[in-house]
Structure 1
Amino acid sequence: MTEVDDVPGEGLRERRRAHSRATTVDVAMQLFAERGFDAVTVADICAAAQIAPRTFFRYFPSKDDVLAEPARVLAVRLTAAIAAAPAGLDDRQVLTRALRELGEHVVADRARLAVFFRVAEAAAASRSNPFLHLSGRERQLTEQLAARRPGPADWRTRLLVAQSVAAFRVWLDDVVAGTGRDLLAHLDEVLTAP
């Protein structure tokens, strides 16, 4: 779930490393989906991904970190989308636009991310990695929005972020459930609901 093509200007070696890391995540997610998170060892992941344990630990400090990688990538994409928003937009416009962009990525990569969402939901009860929950990123998103304009973030900004992130989570639940709707039109509807 690591984005191999999102590393502009890097050489072949870095692209190969990114590809190997992404493959390791995909293999791990499949193993987690088949056997359950707790039943899969780092050695199992290394064998299936055809990498050495040393290589695994160069990419990820622990098995929990490989589980969190897709969520980390989504969080990085969201942060980048907010940072790239035009200066004249208000907080709501910036956040809606960034979440819409993230939604487009989720839809485009739905098959891979569906595995992650199922695995993360099953493992969530026993895992506490903050990247597994978008709501854990609310404070950081609030601070990022506040940094775009003069003055500190107040409760209104915090509430806007909490509502928007909650709306996105509701939409993700519908994506995982396979509602059969036009997913991006549904995202627009959810993000603009009163």
Structure 2
Amino acid sequence: MTLRDRKRARTRQALVDAAIELFERDGYEQTTVADIAAAAEIGTRTFFSYFASKEELLFPESDLRVQATVDAIAARAPEDGPAQVLLRALRTVGADSTDLTGRLAALRLRLIRTVPAVRGRALQIQFDAQRQIARHLAAAYPDRLDEISAAALTGAFVGAITSALQVLLDDSDNPDDPAAVQAAIEKATDVALAPWDE
């Protein structure tokens, strides 16, 4: 990673951290892009070279999770079934990221429930991710999956993750325990993908 890449990553993270603080303190609707940029000590115009909107700040790693899944499909071993590849990708991403656990995840879920714009963005991200993953699965396993079965498998996978997170983040006793969150997500996906696991 170059010095410029590291600087961009630090600025991006500063924007996410500032947004979390402001959303929690002042409320999502009351916080503006200008407020977030100022808190991160950058200009408002610069903000838009990192994120398209303030909704995007709540989903900073969604593209990375999809890419990790696509990469796992591409790097599959000949004996790997489609469900095995998805489960391996989930475990790899879970080990490398805290995006599905802790403060940001809890805030994101709360805002998805209460702010229509955030809910709409979450659904669009989920829809786009499912389509992209399903396309890659169908192409990787043409003898085992057609477009409909690849979409069904991907829907079960993504739905299991989403449902497990909703239950866990509602549980005020343990929302910040990454190991507990990862274990619960893996359990949910194991159950959901059992019919495809070979």
Fold conserved between structures, TM > 0.5: yes
- The aligned residue for residue 35 of structure 1 is 26
Select the residue among 151, 154, 168 that pairs with 1:158: 151
Tell me the residue number matched to 1:100: 91
* Alpha-carbon distance between aligned partners in 1 of 2:116 and 2:87, rounded to the nearest angstrom: 29
**How big is the shift at 1:43?**
1.1
1:59 aligned counterpart, secondary structure: coil
The one of 15, 23, 26 aligned to 2:17: 26
Q: Which residue number in structure 2 is paired with residue 121 of structure 1?
A: 112
Residue in 2 aligned with 1:90? 81
Q: What is the SS of the residue equivalent to 2:29?
A: helix
For 1:18 and 1:74, locate their aligned partners in 2 and report how far apart those are by CA, in whole Å.
17
Conserved? CA contact 2:130–2:151, under 8 Å: yes
Q: Structure 2: how far apart are the matches of 1:85 and 1:122?
A: 36
> Aligned to 1:49, which of 40, 49, 57?
40
The answer as to whether partners of 1:37 and 1:123 remain within 8 angstroms in 2 is no
* Pairwise CA distance, 1:136: 4.2
Indicate conservation of the 8 Å contact 1:31/1:45, yes or no: yes
Residues 8-48 of structure 1 deviation map (CA, whole Å, 9 limit, x = unaligned): xx311221111111111121122122222221111100111
For residues 130 and 73 of structure 2, what CA distance do their matches in structure 1 show?
13
Amino acid at match of 1:18: A
Report Cα offsets for 1:111-160 as digits up to 9, x if no partner. 34334424542455234225765344212111011222345633222211
Q: Taking structure 1 as reference, are residues 37 and 85 closer, same or farther at Cα in structure 2, changes over 3 Å only? A: farther
Alignment: residue pair count:
185
> What is the match of residue 188 of structure 1?
186
User: In structure 1, what is the equivalent of residue 170 of structure 2?
Assistant: 177
Q: What is the percent sequence identity of the aligned residues?
A: 30
Q: Say which SS state the counterpart of residue 167 (structure 1) adopts.
A: helix
Describe the superposition over 1:44-75 as per-residue Cα deviations: whole angstroms up to 9, x where unpaired: 00111111112212212332333333433433
Q: CA deviation at 1:99?
A: 2.2
The one-letter code sitting in structure 1 at the alignment partner of 2:136 is Q
Q: Distance in 1 between matches of 2:152 and 2:100?
A: 29
Task: Note the residue ranges of structure 1 that are not aligned, 5 or more in a row.
Answer: 1-9
| AA matched with 1:158 | A
Taking only aligned residues, the RMSD between alpha carbons, in angstroms, comes to 2.9
The one-letter code of the counterpart of 1:153 is D
For normalisation by structure 2, the TM-score amounts to: 0.76
The worse-fitting range, judged by mean Cα deviation, of 120-129 and 49-58 is 120-129
In the alignment, the residues of structure 2 paired with residue 87 and residue 124 of structure 1 have an alpha-carbon distance, to the nearest angstrom, of 44
Tell me, what secondary structure is at the counterpart of 1:38? coil
* Contact 1:32–1:40 under 8 Å retained in 2: yes
Give ranges in structure 2 of 5+ residues lacking alignment.
none
Correspondent of 2:69 among 44, 55, 78: 78
